[in-house]
Structure 1
Amino acid sequence: INQELRRRQAGFGRGKRMLIENDSAQVISGIRRNVTIGSPIGVLIKNKDFKINKLADLISPRPGHADLPGLLKYGFSDARSVLERASARSTVATVAIGALCKIFLGEFKIKIYSRVISIGAETTKNGMREKIEQAIKNKDTVGGIFEIIALGVPPGLGSYVHPDKRLDGCLAQAIMSIPGVKAVEVGLGFGYAQKFGSLVHDQIFHSKREGFYRKTNNAGGIEGGISNGEDILVRACMKPIATLMKPLGSVNIRNHKETPASVQRSDICVVESAGVVAESCMAFELSRVLLEKFGNDNLSDIKAGYSAYLKRIKY
């Protein structure tokens, strides 16, 4: 768990809070001698920076943040209570539980990785770093695209029977729930709109050694809401962080006069760490659908059912 928490804090462009917080997980329930025992797993991660009662009211909401819609919805007199909960600090819990899910998936040889595809419009390592440095110099922020890949996922996870059971829908919802993510695509994604069907659908082949297989993976490993045995590939767009050191225009919520938006301690770029969070989101969803299909009382029973299923489909 702690290794994954450290990965979440890494990445060029992170803010000063990463120098304050040294996240360390304390398991308080559900695990005995490093083995889960079936009861709810409780993990405690303490914030070193928790002075919310001493902080000034936030009365100039930031464009692009939850500040204004949040205080209007819940009737707060300022946005401080909104930003504390809407903050991506909450993803610490996501990553902690995702670490446990990765251990579980590893029992079935399923591995999950992420990588940064672009920062701004830059796709090379040097170009991406220079783009972040430019944002730092200009007191700006920058977003980008990251990719999550799951290897070793068998066919048959998810379902076409009900809309809420479709695996691609579940993954999209989970990853879209990460603060700052504004778009998700599976496989070729938006690229499907630019080509004829004859050029994009993954043809099906069969051999005695491999069984059913594909030579392309435009579907991103999911067809009809069900995993098809290929690598699951998802990309997501992380918007630039909403807090700017050179703030955009806003309005004072108490006197309604135009004013610069509030400036809070913030990151410059979080695309890399967002990928780590998305790994955990994918790990949680894949664990959930795997347990749904093969049971969840005992690991040996789950493995037995899993092996029998793979034997049946000759995978």
Structure 2
Amino acid sequence: MRYLTAGESHGPQLTLIVEGLPSQLPFDKNKVDEQLSRRQKGYGRGRRMQIETDRVEILSGVRFGKTTGAPVALAIENKDWAKWVEVMSPEPDGEKAEKRRVSRPRPGHADLNGAIKYDHRDMRDVLERSSARETAARVAVGAVARLLLEECGIRVASHVVRIGSVEAKPSAEWRVEEIARVSEASPVRCLDPDAEKAMIQEIDQAKQDGDSLGGIVEVIVENVPVGLGSHVHWDRKLDARIAQAVVSINAFKGAEIGIGFEAGRLRGSQVHDEILWSEEEGFYRATNRLGGFEGGMTTGEPIVVRGVMKPIPTLYKPLKSVDIDSKESFAASIERSDNCAVPAAGVVAENVVAWEVARALVEQFSADTLQELVQAVQARREKAKGF
């Protein structure tokens, strides 16, 4: 499977094309819209979330509620477009182009690097596409992937582990359904009630200080069959592909699988997961410190991946920058009003991970039709149990 997205932050719409889905997959538009709605929530979000109410429009690849095997094309309208028609016009017009020209790069954004790379004297040509608005398209793609995962009995959830200096206490061994229910009821998607209160206070204080906050989110994928990915070549290792997908999210700067970087300070006996066997379960691990992976392949234990998001770079006490025309120093401009998007970023992380797991499923097993895929996944589970 593969996908492409197109569209700008203040353009008419985001467009996405998903190719490689099996035919006969029930396509529930409401479930895609539900994921888009989740992305717009979370304590610390700004005014644009009150402007947009994201919904997908199905353009192709779905007929009478099921995929046909053809590429699925979807669109997400930008309701703010009406105010930007002249500024974002595709027609040549020098006067209009100067109207909202951006010559002042913001620290922490793609503005200056993109302008130098693509020779743009108006950095709006960079910031419109590099905007986190594009994550709405990636959430929609992940939501489509989740439709496929659900048919194979695979479930995905996330929760916030840290915001700023506040870290949640390690949760009990909750199942995905419980994690999803509890995190969804929290304004910061945190499983620890005490940490939730402290996170909200820290977000409020940062906003009062004109500053922003980052954090850490954790994604869990449950009931994954053994052997997705491969040890035979670097670019077939599924944990590596998931890590790349997480770090590719706007403002994410790192990813870890299982206990991740903590493994660097522990002994081997404290890191590796002992292998056990029973008549009921077949092979299983006594622990899951390696986050569901060995040798780049899934072990059958839950996939556990964490991603770290840096603080949003647009500040109400702006950092210094330099105008590309005059070369004079200035205080960076403000383009958006979020001061913490970590809870929303967890939703994005869920869906990019869901995409990678679904892609690995389709690569691994015959998947012209949904029935073939489900049967192949079940056969793998039975093989692993009776091996």
Give the structure-2-normalised TM-score: 0.80
Moved over 6 A (4+): none
- TM-superposed deviation, 1:107: 0.9
Using the alignment, how far apart are the partners of 1:253 and 1:77 within structure 2?
Answer: 8
The answer for the alignment partner of 1:17 in structure 2 is 48
Cα distance in 2 for partners of 1:127, 1:202 equals: 34
Matched letter for residue 131 of structure 1: E
CA contact (8 A) 2:146 2:354 kept: yes
Q: Distance in 2 between matches of 1:308 and 1:233?
A: 24
Q: Does 1:113 align with 2:144?
A: no
Q: Tell me the percent identity.
A: 47
Q: What residue in structure 2 maps to residue 253 of structure 1?
A: 324
Determine the C-alpha separation between the residues in 2 that align with 1:201 and 1:138.
44
Deviations 1:3-33 (A, max 9, x none): 1110000000111110111111110101111
Once the two structures are superposed, what CA deviation does each residue of 1:31-74 show, in whole Å capped at 9, x if it has no partner? 11111110110111110123143762222211111111111110
Match of 1:291 among 362, 377, 384: 362
User: What is aligned with 1:167?
Assistant: 238
Match of 2:107 among 41, 47, 63: 63
SS at match of 1:217: coil
By relative contact order (CA 8 Å, sep 6+), the higher-ranking structure is 1
Measured in 2, the distance between the counterparts of 1:12 and 1:220 equals 28
Task: Say which of 349, 354, 358 aligns to 1:278.
Answer: 349
Give the SS at the match of 1:182: strand
Residue of structure 1 in register with 2:179 after alignment: none
Please state whether the residue corresponding to 1:129 is helix, strand or coil: helix
TM-score of the two chains, using structure 1 as the length reference:
0.97
Residue by residue over 1:158-191, the C-alpha shift from the partner in whole angstroms, topping out at 9 and shown as x without a partner, is 0011111101110011111100000100001000
| Equivalent runs, 1:28-47 vs 2, <5 Å | 28-47=59-78
Q: Structure 1: which amino acid aligns with 2:287?
A: T
What is the rounded CA distance, in whole Å, between the counterparts of 2:136 and 2:358 in structure 1? 19
2:269 and 2:384 mapped to 1: Cα distance? Answer: 27
Following superposition, the deviation at residue 101 of structure 1 comes to 0.8
Query: CA offsets, 1:89-140, max 9 Å, x none?
Result: 0011111111111111011110000100110011200111011101111111
CA contact (8 A) 1:60 1:260 kept: no
Aligned CA RMSD, in angstroms, stands at: 1.2
Of residues 63, 70, 73, the one that matches 2:117 is 73
Opposite residue 329 of structure 2, the aligned amino acid is: E
Report the count of equivalent residues: 315
Residue equivalent to 2:12: none
Shift of 1:215: 1.8
2:315 to 236, 240, 244: 244
For residue 78 of structure 1, report the CA deviation from its aligned partner.
2.5
Give the 5 Å matches for 1:1-315.
1-50=32-81, 51=84, 52-53=87-88, 56-123=100-167, 124-314=195-385
For residue 120 of structure 1, what is the amino acid of its counterpart?
G
- Looking at structure 1, the residues matched to 375 and 334 of structure 2 have their Cα atoms a distance apart, in angstroms, of 55
Q: More displaced, 56-65 or 21-30?
A: 56-65
Q: Which blocks of at least 5 consecutive residues in structure 1 are unaligned? A: none
